[in-house]
Structure 1
Amino acid sequence: MTDETTTDPTPPDDATADVTERLGYRLKRAAAALRGAMDGALREYGLTVPQYACLELLDQRPGLSNAELARGTFVTRQSMNVVLRGLQDAGLITRAPTADHGRALPAHLTEDGHRRLAAARTAVYAIDQQMTDAVPPKRLAALLADLNRMAETLGG
């Protein structure tokens, strides 16, 4: 007995397969569309997507280190150094000049950082809601669970 809701995937070695029908392609396309929409919305607030993500994480968990922020925003530690420098230069975060222990320099939002995040969050959440609204409500929980399983399967 077969499940009619699934299809057999085209074998990866089939050179005639339409790559645009592959799950990975579709996920990347959706991610690129989300990134483009966020880039456009955040430009109005003088933020990049990694900067915004960093502000969100610091709002939820003040004092995160560079390495923790890099993992949480899906960028390298080197890229996070650039992100943090930009946020610090803009007066949106503070970091101690020296570490209390080890090499980690915990970061915290400034009042300006909280204000900028609150303004940008409205625009980003509207984009997220627009994307969410494209999924029938009765399928949303299953989709979110499927996405989590995919990430876990690949080690994410």
Structure 2
Amino acid sequence: MSMRKMNVSSGEAWIGYSLKITQHRLRQRLEAELAGTGVSAAQNAVLLAIDENPQISNASLARAAFVTPQSMQGMLVTLERDGFITRTPHPEHGRIIMTELTDKGKAAARAGIIAAETVERRMLSGLTGDETRLLDSLLRRCADALEGE
């Protein structure tokens, strides 16, 4: 195993490297499943977030899609241009932009949910239910340990 893949101090594989490989393959599979919907994985995350909250801020959308706020603005322009969303000023609060899914956007979001579930089932197919719950718990604890300071 190369130095990049090994934790030199312990001789064990780096968990972070294994996570990155898994995340990369997960993303590749999801992008392949989404190919027929006309949206990317990041765009699908945006559609799902908008569906849950039409008043969601661009910053919150950027966090949901793991992109910068600047990239999010471009993504919203593309989604609107391609007919997945409409954006209009809030009737009572002029500074708030309402973003809503069109019928095309709703169909893409539904297809995205199915695609994500398909890929996740495949990823977890070698694990038992108990192992899946344990993996989820352990990954959440790792993420929490890295939060903040």
Pairwise CA RMSD of aligned residues? Answer: 2.4
Give me the whole-angstrom Cα distance separating, in 2, the residues matched to 1:154 and 1:98. Answer: 37
Q: Deviations over 1:20-50 (max 9, x none)?
A: x100000000000000001111122111111
Is 1:114 aligned to residue 106 of structure 2? yes
Give me the whole-angstrom Cα distance separating, in 1, the residues matched to 2:133 and 2:47. Answer: 27
Query: Which residue among 122, 126, 129 is the counterpart of 1:130?
Result: 122
Is 1:150 aligned to residue 133 of structure 2? no
- Aligned residues, how many? 142
Over alpha carbons, which structure has the higher Rg?
A: 1
Mapping of residues 1-156 of structure 1, within 5 Å: 14=9, 17=11, 21-96=13-88, 100-102=93-95, 104-155=96-147
TM-score of the pair, normalised by structure 1 = 0.80
In the alignment, structure 2 segments of 5+ residues that lack a partner are 1-5
Q: Deviations over 1:68-106 (max 9, x none)?
A: 11112211101111111111111111112589354x533
In the alignment, structure 1 segments of 5+ residues that lack a partner are 1-10
Is the 2:85–2:100 contact (alpha carbons within 8 Å) kept by the matching residues of 1?
yes
Structure 1 stretches (4+) deviating beyond 6 angstroms?
Answer: none
TM-score of the pair, normalised by structure 2 = 0.83
